[in-house]
Amino acid sequence: MVNSLVVLITGANGQLGQALQAEAAGFPALTLISTGRSEVDICDTASIGQAIQRFQPQVIINCSAYTAVDKAEAEPAQAYRINRDGVSNLAAQAALHNIALLHISTDYVFSGEQAHPYTEQDSPAPKSVYGASKLAGEQALLQSGCEGAIIRTSWLYSEFGTNFVKTMLRLAQSGKPLKVVADQYGSPTYARDLAIAILQMAEATEQPLFNPPQLWHYANNGITSWYDFAGAIFHTAGLECTVEPIQTSAYPTAARRPAFSALASGKIQQHFNTPVPSWRDSLKLALTQLLSQASHKAAD
């Protein structure tokens, strides 16, 4: 296609990478090239350079990340190797080859101690190794001299990969009561909504907004707890499942989670006219997709 922008996706086998591929048809001006770690290892500068040489991208979307939040507490070196050093490698190569780098980050960079949605101006203060390693990756990109953007998101789910919605649907099949944390609040985000926002940004990387890079937040509208989110999943899916609310203290984990990590998406909505649906509306869409997949599998 004439004037097509070549967009290289790293970490494309995860749920966001798959969501980007699922939304590609809506962006005919973009040519998406999806790569997994076997094709592009962001911890290996040579691997990145070879991919750039081969595909000649104008934009890189980095979906590669170490996301095992609890495991990171015992493996900080590995978390930092991917979430900080890998991003630093990508950013250096992007700067060298004049490529815009769109990097995905997380609500876990915040402490969770405020009671209103976090904006891009709020100061990060991570409480976990995972959050600290992701913040270090953000800082590496901002200091690299490359063009691009950092897009923070939260509570990501979809019909792809492993996530809270799919886990709840699976556990509901057991017929046993579930206990779900009720004192952590955030904004559930449908990966396909986030993918649309990212691809809109990829189309616009010639704009001055990307040089120097800025911080952006994208999460579906509305705030809920994990407990209420679980209830909404079962209600929307038409499933009978007893859910008992519990406190974070009753469900100890290796990593501390932010008690409140909702993100305000006004900035990205304003600059890119990006749709930001409510989490409830997007949950309905996701469940329609998931339940349709399940019925097709049953028919096979």
Query: Any idea what DSSP says for residue 263?
Result: B
Per annotation, catalytic residue among 66, 80, 130, 190: 130
**CA proximity to 189, closest of 147, 156, 237, 212:** 156
Classify strands 100-106 and 59-62 as parallel, antiparallel or unpaired.
Answer: parallel
pLDDT of residue 232: 98
Mean pLDDT for each 10-residue chunk of the chain (300 residues)?
A: 84 97 97 97 98 98 97 98 98 98 98 97 98 98 97 98 96 93 98 98 95 97 98 96 96 96 97 96 96 72
Q: What are phi and psi of 14, to 5 degrees?
A: -80, 180
Question: Could you please report the per-residue DSSP string of 233-297?
Answer: HHHHHT----EEEE-GGGS--SSPPPSB--B--HHHHHHH-----BHHHHHHHHHHHHHHHHHHH
- Active site annotation includes 130: yes
Nearest Cα residue to 206 out of 58, 86, 83 = 58
The region that residue 76 occupies, defined by phi over 0 for left and psi between -120 and 50 for alpha, beta otherwise, is: alpha
Residue 278 tokens, joined: 């409510």
Alpha-carbon dihedral of residues 186, 191, 196, 197, nearest 10 degrees?
A: 30
- Can the peptide bond before residue 212 be classed as cis, meaning omega within 30 degrees of 0? yes
Q: Where are the domains of the chain?
A: 5-299
Residue type, 144: S
**Residues with Cβ within 8 Å of residue 3, at least 6 apart in sequence:** 29
Are the C-beta atoms of 34 and 9 separated by less than 8 Å? yes
Which CATH topology does 5-299 take? Rossmann fold (3.40.50)
